[in-house]
Amino acid sequence: METLEKKSVAEDPILEEAFMTRLLNGEKIEPKEWMPENYRKQLTRMMSQHAHSEVIGMQPEANWITRAPSLLRKVILLAKIQDEGGHGLYLYGSTETLGTDRSELIEQLHEGKAKYSSVFNYPTLNWADIGAIGWLVDGAAIVNQTMLAKTSYGPYSRAMLRICKEEGFHNRQGYDLMIAMMRGTKEQQEMAQDAMNRWWWPALMMFGPHDKNSSNTIELMKYRIKLESNDDLRQQFIDRTIPQAEIIGLTIPDPNLKFNKETGHYETSDINWDEFFNVIRGKGPCNKQRMHNHIQAHEEGKWVREAAEAYASKHKQL
């Protein structure tokens, strides 16, 4: 009902102008307030994609939870995966404030209408991958989320502030794991470098296509949902991560990498965009597996959710 009502006034140019003025003044938009339908749509798309990413991202890490090589590492990894689940839950809640409920968002994911970060379509093949994910993937997420903490939509901004703190822990713990591997045996160093070789490029791809090829970026920036461009964010990540890799003896898998003294920035080869768009279109190494797992768990859990609902409604009547 509420969404219908909102829709009927969504295309009002006067309201839209007032809305844009509020954005320019740096005001936060709150759930019950008027917003253009396109703003709502873009936010729902982006926030649900973010929520799905947190949840699907649990899978590649869960792949090593039963094989963590020490009890302390097992506990750290488990707590991290649990945090990511919490982020997903929190973000689903924030997305619901825009009028789409979680079950519908999950349906969209299962139907392939909603996406998640394609970085999670790569496999975790050795223990160092757990370090690489924490350090590189969470590291890239932090750059993105620090920007999103200033986003124009109040609930999203608050979610990011809260989540960013935990991502900081994950990032440090991942780097700590990599340090331990690089200080270890030759085999451990090889595992760490192998993980670096496989996760570096997918991590850079997390920021999305070049600005000139990103149709969403323009609109997202107009609405101040995003405040910085894909390429700028990617550069920040590159500049902060390369020295961290070098200091522990990891090689960046990029023969053209160089530091430009004049700009103060690192320059890298271009991303393999064919691979990027392939993985987005479902042709990555683990797309099928990740979706299959999620759908299967959801279907196998159906009777449990139904039992909980039946019990709750029985005991409400009493």
Partner 1 sequence: MDKNQHALFNYCLRLGDNSLILGQRITEWCSHAPILEEDIALANLALDLIGQAREFLTYAGEIEKKGRAEDDLAFLRDANEFRNALLVEQPNGDFAHTIVRQYLFSVFNYHLLTELGKGKDSTLAAIAVKSLKECTYHVRHSGEWILRMGDGTEESKRRLFNAFEDLWMYTAELFDTDESDDLLVKKGIAVDMKTIHPLWLETIKAHLDKISFPLPSNHYLVQGIKKGKHSEHLGHILAEMQFLPRAYPGTKW
Q: How far apart are CA 61 and CA 131, in angstroms?
A: 10
Selection from 177, 192, 186, 7 nearest residue 98 by Cα = 7
By beta-carbon proximity to Fe ion, the closer residue of 96 and 167 is: 167
Closer CB to partner 1, residue 2 or residue 300?
A: 300
Site for Fe ion in 87-126 (CB under 5 A): 87
Least Cβ distance, residue 175 to Fe ion (angstroms): 13
Rounded to a whole number of angstroms, the minimum distance from the CB of residue 161 to partner 1 is 20
Total site size for Fe ion, rule CB under 5 A: 6
Residue 184 site contact among Fe ion, partner 1, none (CB < 5 to 8 Å, cut-off depends on kind): partner 1
Q: Is 110 helix (H, G, I), strand (E, B) or coil?
A: helix
Paired tokens of 10? 């969504």
Provide, rounded to whole angstroms, the least separation between the CB of residue 178 and partner 1.
Answer: 12
Shortest separation between residue 65's beta carbon and partner 1, angstroms: 5
Q: Which does 185 bind (CB under 5 to 8 A by kind): partner 1, Fe ion, none?
A: partner 1
**Under the rule (CB under 8 A), what is the footprint of partner 1?**
55, 58-59, 62, 65-75, 78-79, 81-82, 85-86, 88-89, 92, 127, 180-181, 183-185, 187-188, 293, 296-297, 300-308, 310-312, 314-315
**From Fe ion, partner 1, none, which one binds at residue 167 (CB under 5 to 8 Å depending on kind)?**
Fe ion
> Which one of partner 1, Fe ion, none interacts with residue 218, CB within 5 to 8 A by kind?
none
SS3 category, 127: coil
Q: Which of the choices Fe ion, partner 1, none does residue 297 contact, using the CB cut-off of 5 to 8 A by kind?
A: partner 1
Return the one option of Fe ion, partner 1, none that residue 138 interacts with (CB less than 5 to 8 A, by type). Answer: Fe ion
Selected binder of Fe ion within 29, 47, 81, 84 (CB under 5 A): 84
Residue 188 near which of Fe ion, partner 1, none (CB within 5-8 Å, type-dependent): partner 1
Three-state SS at 175? helix
Cα distance between residue 51 and residue 34, in whole Å: 24
61 part of the interface to Fe ion, by CB under 5 A: no
Q: Which is nearer to partner 1, 244 or 293 (CB)?
A: 293
Q: From residue 247, how far is each of 106, 140, 252, 258 by CA, in Å?
A: 42, 19, 12, 16
Question: In the bound complex, what is the minimum distance in angstroms from residue 104's beta carbon to Fe ion?
Answer: 22
| Closer by beta carbon to partner 1, 29 or else 81 | 81
Give the interface segment with Fe ion, choosing from 31-39, 83-91, 104-112, 262-270 (CB under 5 A): 83-91
The continuous run of DSSP H or E covering 260 comes out as strand 258-260
Q: Considering only residues 140 through 179, tell me which ones interact with Fe ion, judged by CB under 5 A.
A: 167, 170
Collapse the DSSP code of 29 into the 3-class scheme (helix H, G, I; strand E, B; otherwise coil) and give the result.
strand
The CA distance from 212 to 226, in Å, is: 15
- Any contact of residue 138 with Fe ion (CB under 5 A)? yes
Q: At what angle do helices 102-110 and 37-56 cross, to 10 degrees?
A: 70
Tokens of 296: 């299967």
99 binds, among partner 1, Fe ion, none (CB under 5 to 8 A by kind): none
Q: Please report, as ranges, the residues that interact with Fe ion according to CB under 5 A.
A: 54, 84, 87, 138, 167, 170
